Amino acid sequence: MGQVQAIPESLCSVVVISFRIVDTASTSFSLREMRLEIDDLQKWFDLNEFDRVEDEPRLPPEKMLETRKQAVEDHGKTCFGFVLESEEQTVGMVSFHNIGTLLNIGKPIFCDVVINPEFRRRGFGRQLYESGLDRLRELGFDRCVVGVREGNEAALAFTEYLGCSELDRQYLLTIDLTTLSDEGIATNADDTVQLFSLAQLRDTDPQWREKLHDLSKAFEKDIPSRVEVSIFPEDLDEFEKLLYVEWELDLDGSFVAVIEGVWAATTWKRTAGEDWCYHIMTGVRPEFRRRGLVKTLKRAGFAWAMRVGIRYIHTNQQESNLPMLTLNRQLGFETKSCYILLEHQFG
């Protein structure tokens, strides 16, 4: 991806677009820029609640605000959006951001559009989406990536209306650790495999960052995907920022398998809720595959989670990576929902 710019001044101010919409009932609607303040993040959270799937994890507005402000103010990320309002009602909102990682398909940005059910099917979704395209072009982006839950026919029709095309499908998987037997968390690693947490390695190995970066770049190119994958920066400082600032890795819950001194495989976790966490990534060097290391590392993560009082582990898995999707299900993960990933090229 190309470099992007932050726009902190506009993110912290109210910008009223120079036109108003009047519907057939003579109701006025105003469009303004979303603020990085708790009131607007609470509105965003409330609108998403209309379509929330019960089992899906969701960060509270306060944590969303903290994450977005840090990404923009400290790390130069792009994050902005617009709010459409009628009198004292929030009609809908749109958010554009490149926080986290994106598929390497040109210069993409994530886009989310949410509309109050009372105001759907009246063209407001497209109005919100198109409100940000000129700025995105100025910032160097050429396409939006959106995720629509499978079965949401209205939203899929909307993306078709925008001219989006399908990239992949992403499954939300969840495991309830209280359902596992002792066998379900046994690592079963052979004597040649040593397991260490990243916290241990950080404290004992001065070259831990370099070794983790080298391991990550070794497995990155073989991650199955329907588009080109480029996740980890070449620069070591940028790599560390991605892992520990953007992804907020829990070093105690993330592990490395070492074989004869070689960092052979790794798995990463991010603690998010009081009794749940995210599983972010598992990767193995090509020469160490087919030795059961993925299963060993995931089970080590299960055991750690149980020790610290975590009950649920959530993870996202793309359909194009069928081997990992199958293995997760064998380990006890259940599919909670499926999202269709689509892109719209506007450049």
Residue 48 and residue 147 in one domain: yes
Q: What is the pLDDT of residue 20?
A: 40
Residue 131 forms part of a structural domain:
yes
Residue 270 and residue 148 in one domain: no
Share of the chain above pLDDT 70, in %: 87
Residue 59 forms part of a structural domain:
yes
Residue 346 forms part of a structural domain:
no
Residue 132 and residue 234 in one domain: no
Residue 257 has pLDDT above 70, yes or no: yes
Residue 236 forms part of a structural domain:
yes
pLDDT band at 203 (very low <50, low <70, confident <90, very high): very high
Residue 197 and residue 327 in one domain: yes
**CATH code, domain carrying 122:** 3.40.630.30
Q: Quick one: how far is CA 219 from the chain centroid? A: 20
Residue 144 and residue 18 in one domain: yes
Residue 44 and residue 190 in one domain: no
Domain count, the chain: 2
Residue 281 and residue 223 in one domain: yes
* Domain end position, chosen among 141, 170, 199: 170
For residue 178, give the DSSP letter.
G
Residue 263 forms part of a structural domain:
yes
Residue 82 and residue 106 in one domain: yes
Chain segment 137-185, per-residue pLDDT in tens: 999 999 899 999 898 898 899 999 889 999 889 899 999 999 998 877 7
Residue 5 has pLDDT above 50, yes or no: no
* Domain end position, chosen among 170, 195, 219: 170
Q: What is the pLDDT of residue 221?
A: 80
Residue 34 and residue 130 in one domain: yes
Sequence letter at residue 137: R
Residue 87 belongs to domain spanning: 8-170
Residue 264 and residue 153 in one domain: no
Residue 211 has pLDDT above 60, yes or no: yes
With contact defined as beta carbons under 8 Å apart, do 336 and 56 qualify? yes
Quote the Cα angle for 81-65-105, to 5°.
Answer: 50
* Domain end position, chosen among 117, 142, 170: 170
Residue 262 forms part of a structural domain:
yes
What value does the CA radius of gyration of the chain take, rounded to a whole number of Å?
Answer: 22
Residue 72 forms part of a structural domain:
yes
Whole-model pTM over 0.85: no
Please state whether 316 falls in left (phi above 0), alpha (psi between -120 and 50) or beta. Answer: beta
Q: What is the pLDDT of residue 55?
A: 66
Q: What is the pLDDT of residue 11?
A: 27
With contact defined as beta carbons under 8 Å apart, do 104 and 225 qualify? no
Residue 340 forms part of a structural domain:
no
Chain segment 106-146, per-residue pLDDT in tens: 688 999 999 999 999 899 999 999 999 999 999 999 989 99
Residue 291 has pLDDT above 80, yes or no: yes
Residue 211 and residue 292 in one domain: yes
Least confident piece of the model among 66-70, 262-266, 281-285: 66-70
H helix count then E strand count, the chain: 12, 13
Residue 44 and residue 114 in one domain: yes
Least confident piece of the model among 1-5, 68-72, 83-87, 326-330: 1-5
pLDDT band at 225 (very low <50, low <70, confident <90, very high): low
For residue 177, give the DSSP letter.
G
